[in-house]
Amino acid sequence: MSSHYVIGDDGEIYHMLNDYFRAWHGGIGKWGNTNDLNSASIGIELDNDGKEEFSIAQINSLIKLLKELKEKYKIPQANFIGHSDIAPTRKVDPHAGFPWKILAEEGFGHWYDEERVRELQLEKDSLPTVASDSTDLQNQALEANSENRKNLVPKNFDPVMALRIIGYDVSDPVAAKKAFKLHFIKEEETSSELTDFDLKVLYNLYQKYL
């Protein structure tokens, strides 16, 4: 069997294989330090042609199933991932329309803190300084800079290392960046270049995994 469960467009759940048996849904892939995902995961396939919108009934059934599996097997929130996450050089499913944010709000996978990301700046943007002989003014400037640094993505932030910490296989950094953008930036057929916004999102997510 290629997966343990299949969920139809109408929300019908089909249990194809005992959860304890090995399925073949993942194929060759890696997440974190795990190379054999087929032996260490439960595969769920959604009836979708790779472009069409996921139905409300389908997503509701998926959430119901995930709740049951999470409780039964004590699955950590971070361990709910997609095929494109574990095999970024081969797989592009689920597509960018998949509601990862909704799932994260239910406790399945992580999502970035949108308000926190809006507050973040890249350290390449200069910090305000005060040139003065006054000790009080200098101290105020230092305090302001210290507070500002909490909202900074540091210059030495390594996006590839951050992707590795999250769980991505970074042996092909270009593919890993594309997989990240498909999942979190919601872009199909995207380039691997990380924009300032992408870096802020990645930095926020990376901090969740430390």
Active centre residues (catalytic): 45
Q: What is the mean pLDDT of residues 177-202?
A: 90
Domain extents in the chain: 5-105, 112-210
Work out the average pLDDT over 101-112: 97
pLDDT in tens, 156-181: 999 999 999 999 999 999 999 999 99
pLDDT above 70: percentage of residues in the chain: 86
At 14 the three-state DSSP class reads strand
Distance, CA of 206 to CA of 167 (rounded, Å): 10
Backbone angles phi, psi at 177, to 5 degrees: -65, -40
Between the alpha carbon of residue 166 and those of residues 5, 63, 110, 113, 171, the distances in Å are 26, 23, 10, 15, 14
Mean pLDDT across 93-115:
95
The packing angle between helices 159-166 and 196-208, to 10°, is 40
Rounded-to-integer distance, Cα 183 and Cα 85, Å: 8
- In sign, the C-alpha dihedral spanning 88, 94, 100, 106 is negative
- Give me the pLDDT at residue 144, please: 44
- Rounded to whole angstroms, the Cα distance separating 15 from 3 reads 9
**Residue 24 backbone zone (phi > 0: left; psi -120 to 50: alpha; other: beta):** alpha
Q: Which helix (H) or strand (E) holds 59?
A: helix 56-73
Predicted pLDDT at 27: 77
Give the pair of three-digit tokens for residue 15: 């249990």
pLDDT of 186 reads 86
- Give the chain's radius of gyration (CA, Å): 21
Domain 5-105 has CATH 3.40.190.80: no
**How many degrees, rounded to 5, is the angle at CA 84 between CA 46 and CA 45?**
15
Calpha distance 80→42 (Å, rounded): 10
Query: Would you state the pLDDT for residue 149?
Result: 64
